[in-house]
Amino acid sequence: MPHQHRTLTDAVRAGVDRHPERAAFVYLHEDGPAMRPEEIGYAELDRRARLVAARLHHASKGDPSRPVLLLYPPTLDFVTAFLGCFYAGRTAIPAPLPDEPGERLARVSGILRDAKVGAVLTLPEYRQAIGAWLAAAGEGDVVCLSTGPDDQDGADPDLWVPPVVRDTDVAFLQYSSGSTSEPKGVMVTHANLAANQEAIRTAMRTPEGVVAGSWLPLYHDMGLIGMTLQPLWVGGTSVQMSPVSFIKQPHRWLRMIHDYRVEGTASPNFGYDLCVRRVTEEQSAGLDLSSLRVALNGAEPVRADTLRAFVRRFAGNGLRAESLLPCYGLAENTLLVSGGDTEAPHLELTVDAVALERDELRPVRSDRPARTLVGCGRPTDTEVLIVDPTTRQVLPDRRIGEIWLRGPSVAAGYWNRRELTAETFQAVTADGRAGCFRTGDLGALLGGELYVTGRIKEMLIQHGRNLYPQDIEQAVQESGEVFRRGGGAVFSVTDEASDRSHVVVVQELKARAGGGEEDLAGLAASVQALLSRQFQLPGVSVVLVRPGVIRKTTSGKTQRTLMRQLFLDGALPVLHQRLQEPVAALLPTPAPATEPTAAVSSRS
The alpha-helical segments, DSSP class H, found in 142-250 are: 190-204, 221, 230-233, 243-248
DSSP state of 557: -
By C-beta, is 381 or 471 nearer to another protein? 471
Per CB under 8 A, the list member of 18, 58, 278, 457 interacting with another protein is 278
211 beta partners: 237
Per CB under 8 A, the list member of 151, 288, 322, 581 interacting with another protein is 581
The alpha-helical segments, DSSP class H, found in 149-241 are: 190-204, 221, 230-233
Residues with Cβ within 8 Å of residue 145, at least 6 apart in sequence: 55, 56, 59, 119, 120, 121, 122, 127
Shortest gap between Cβ of 97 and another protein (angstroms)?
7
Shortest gap between Cβ of 468 and another protein (angstroms)?
17
Does 248 help bind another protein (rule: CB under 8 A)? yes
- Could you tell me the strand order of the sheet in which 68-72 lies? 143-146, 119-122, 68-72, 92-96, 170-178, 183-189
Helix (H) or strand (E) holding 187: strand 183-189
Residue 374 one-letter amino acid: V
484 three-state secondary structure: strand
**Residue span binding another protein (CB under 8 A) among the ranges 18-26, 62-70, 98-106, 506-514:** 98-106
Cα-based torsion angle of the residue sequence 410, 416, 422, 426 in order, rounded to the nearest 10 degrees: 10
Shortest gap between Cβ of 358 and another protein (angstroms)?
32
Shortest gap between Cβ of 316 and another protein (angstroms)?
23
Residues with Cβ within 8 Å of residue 285, at least 6 apart in sequence: none
Does 242 help bind another protein (rule: CB under 8 A)? yes
Per CB under 8 A, the list member of 78, 133, 437, 483 interacting with another protein is 133
**Total site size for another protein, rule CB under 8 A:** 52
On whether the CB atoms of residues 176 and 220 are closer than 8 A, the answer is yes
DSSP state of 226: I
Per CB under 8 A, the list member of 3, 47, 539, 587 interacting with another protein is 539
Per CB under 8 A, the list member of 94, 178, 340, 582 interacting with another protein is 582
Does 274 help bind another protein (rule: CB under 8 A)? yes
**Residue span binding another protein (CB under 8 A) among the ranges 172-180, 354-362, 441-449, 576-584:** 576-584
Per CB under 8 A, the list member of 3, 13, 22, 29 interacting with another protein is 29
Does 580 help bind another protein (rule: CB under 8 A)? yes
Per CB under 8 A, the list member of 10, 30, 151, 153 interacting with another protein is 30
Per CB under 8 A, the list member of 316, 538, 547, 570 interacting with another protein is 538
Shortest gap between Cβ of 566 and another protein (angstroms)?
22
Does 208 help bind another protein (rule: CB under 8 A)? no
Rounded-to-integer distance, Cα 36 and Cα 430, Å = 56
Does 537 help bind another protein (rule: CB under 8 A)? yes
By C-beta, is 79 or 513 nearer to another protein? 79
By C-beta, is 192 or 306 nearer to another protein? 306
Does 298 help bind another protein (rule: CB under 8 A)? no
Using DSSP, how many helices (H) and how many strands (E) does the chain show? 19, 27
Rounded-to-integer distance, Cα 87 and Cα 80, Å = 10
Does 567 help bind another protein (rule: CB under 8 A)? no
Does 272 help bind another protein (rule: CB under 8 A)? no
What b/e string do you get for 80-111 counting C-beta neighbours within 10 Å, with b at 16 or more? Answer: bbbbbbbbbbbbbbbbbbbeeebbbbbbbbbb
Shortest gap between Cβ of 576 and another protein (angstroms)?
14
Does 40 help bind another protein (rule: CB under 8 A)? no
DSSP state of 326: E
What does residue 32 show for φ and ψ, rounded to 5 degrees? 65, -140
By C-beta, is 77 or 169 nearer to another protein? 77
Does 380 help bind another protein (rule: CB under 8 A)? no
Shortest gap between Cβ of 32 and another protein (angstroms)?
6
Rounded-to-integer distance, Cα 549 and Cα 530, Å = 23
The percent helix, strand, coil of the chain (3-state, each to 5) is 35, 25, 40
Q: Calculate the CA 517 to chain-centre distance.
A: 40
**Residue span binding another protein (CB under 8 A) among the ranges 60-68, 94-102, 224-232, 409-417:** 94-102
On whether the CB atoms of residues 355 and 324 are closer than 8 A, the answer is no
By C-beta, is 105 or 143 nearer to another protein? 105
> What is the footprint of another protein within residues 443-472 (CB under 8 A)?
462-463
290 three-state secondary structure: coil
Does 281 help bind another protein (rule: CB under 8 A)? no
Does 121 help bind another protein (rule: CB under 8 A)? no
Does 132 help bind another protein (rule: CB under 8 A)? yes
Does 432 help bind another protein (rule: CB under 8 A)? no
Per CB under 8 A, the list member of 412, 461, 568, 599 interacting with another protein is 599
The alpha-helical segments, DSSP class H, found in 89-162 are: 103-115, 124-136
Give the footprint of another protein on this chain (CB under 8 A): 27, 29-33, 73-75, 97-101, 105, 126, 129-130, 132-133, 241-245, 247-249, 270, 274, 278, 462-463, 498, 500, 502, 528-529, 532-533, 536-540, 578, 580-583, 599-600
